[in-house]
Amino acid sequence: MNRELWEGNQAIAEAAVRGGLEAYFGYPITPQTELLEYLSKRMPELGRAFVQAESELAAINMVYGAATAGARTMTSSSSPGVSLMQEGLSYIAGSEVPCVIVDMMRGGPGLGNISPGQADYNQLVRGGGHGDYHSLVLAPSTIQEAVTLTYNAFDLAEKYRGIVVIAADGNIGQMMEPVVMPPMRQIGHADRGWELSGAAGRPRRIISSIGLDPEVMERINARLQARYREIEANEVRFAERQTEDADLLVVAFGSAARIAQTAIREARARGIRVGLFRPITLWPFPYQRLAELAQRIPRLLVVEMNAGQMLNDVRLAVGPQAVVSFYGRTGGQVPMPEEILAQIGGMAPTPSTNGARAIALL
């Protein structure tokens, strides 16, 4: 396996192609545009569908259409574009068809800027559009991880007949790292039993998210919720580093977790025992594992590139017994390791209400 230098956006695009992407629809927006540009060349050369849509609204509805027709299909965007897609995502969830969305998050709200951000957390994790639904949200912290998650995202989307989101940010999208690309998968599949392929030799099929009768609509909701419980049982993913002897646990995802890792290394060099807990699935959130860890390490520092969105999930996980601090940068600002290190140091002397022993000072 060769390690090759790839830009994040292009690496994700190639990983999607190798994972079996058959139809891509997108709209230019920084910092994900290279993904669209790459596929504008790559998809036609493989005889696969590529359309630059007139808007993110159209792009997500093209994805919706291709998904109903049984395609492995994807779109990519960044925060304001993903906001526009929420209508289509709600319909896709309600219709129970699979697709993959890449969100290279940037600074917001509003037009914001093109610098990296993580403030789409709530939008992506809580559903985002109207109605009770969830997307399976995967947050890579390296380009290699983004490649692996994207490559396997279509299988997950098809397994659960739903939306899988690759939640990354401008850091992941635009930096370059060595990557081992997975092998090219064959495309094509047997009839899945629900896709629209023309009613040849079978009764026709209808894919719709409508349920005018509330009893019917509630049954659809119950089916969706049962599937979400299944995803929660099967798909929770996280990474832990140096938690065994830790007195303090940093919780961070995506590129914020990598920056935190640098701060943790420095803290350990100064004798502070800090560990890292990094959710890979933002939904389903690893509540259970984090709760277990917090029993042993009841001091936590949550670091995000937003004003504290995952923070709420961390608090839900650990309950009121743990001491939870937060450090966030907003508006496209990326925290420096020194800032996080200062926070780590600052947490140490605070008297604890639960008897946790004080950790070493900076």
Partner 1 sequence: MLAETMTVVYERPETLLPVVSHYCPGCSHGIIHRLVAEVIDELGVREQTIGVASVGCSVFSYNYLDYDFAQAPHGRAPAMATGIKRYRPNHVVFTYQGDGDLASIGAAEIIHAAARGENITVIFVNNAVFGMTGGQMAPTTLPHMKTTSSPQGRDVATMGFPIRVSEMLATLDGPAYIVRRAVSDPATINRTKKAIRTAFQAQLHGLGFSMVEILAACPINWDMQPEDALQHIKNAMIPYYPLGDYKVIDAVKALA
Of 283, 314, 9, the closest CA to residue 164 belongs to: 283
Site for partner 1, residues 123 to 152, rule: CB under 8 A: none
Quick check: 65 binds partner 1 (CB under 8 A)? Answer: yes
207 belongs to the binding site for partner 1 (CB under 8 A): yes
By CB under 8 A, residue 64 contacts partner 1: yes
Q: Does 23 bind partner 1 (CB under 8 A)?
A: yes
Q: Does residue 171 touch partner 1 according to CB under 8 A?
A: no
Closest to partner 1 by CB, 70 or 298 = 70
Q: Determine, following the binding rule CB under 8 A, whether residue 87 of this chain makes contact with partner 1.
A: yes
Residue 55 as a binder of partner 1 (CB under 8 A): the answer is yes
How far is it, in rounded angstroms, from Cα 168 to Cα 116? 9
Spell out a b/e string for 176-209, using b for 16 or more CB atoms within 10 Å of the CB, else e: ebebebbeeeeeeeeeeeebeeeeeeeeeeebeb
Q: Residue 291, interface with partner 1 (CB under 8 A)?
A: no
The yes or no reply on residue 4 touching partner 1 (CB under 8 A) is: no
- Is 190 one of the binding residues for partner 1 (CB under 8 A)? no
> Would you say 54 or 244 has its CB closer to partner 1?
54
For residues 19 and 173, which CB has a smaller minimum distance to partner 1 in the complex? 19
Residues 243, 273, 253, 350, CA torsion sign: positive
Q: Does 205 bind partner 1 (CB under 8 A)?
A: yes
Among 9, 10, 33, 68, binds partner 1 (CB under 8 A): 68
Q: Does 73 bind partner 1 (CB under 8 A)?
A: yes
Report residue 125 as tokens.
């994790």
Query: Which residue, 49 or 291, has its beta carbon nearer to partner 1?
Result: 49
Using alpha carbons, select from 26, 177, 31, 36 the residue that is nearest to residue 105. Answer: 31
| Three-class secondary structure of residue 152 per DSSP | helix
What are the distances in angstroms from CA 79 to CA 98, 99, 248, 329, 337?
Answer: 21, 18, 32, 16, 25
- 52: tokens are 């630059």
Structure-block tokens of residue 307: 């004003």
Q: What is the length of the chain?
A: 362
Rule CB under 8 A: is residue 191 a binding residue for partner 1?
no
Q: What is the largest CA-CA distance in the chain?
A: 74
**Chain positions contacting partner 1, by CB under 8 A:** 22-23, 25, 49, 51, 53-55, 57-59, 61-71, 73, 87-88, 91, 95, 196-201, 204-210
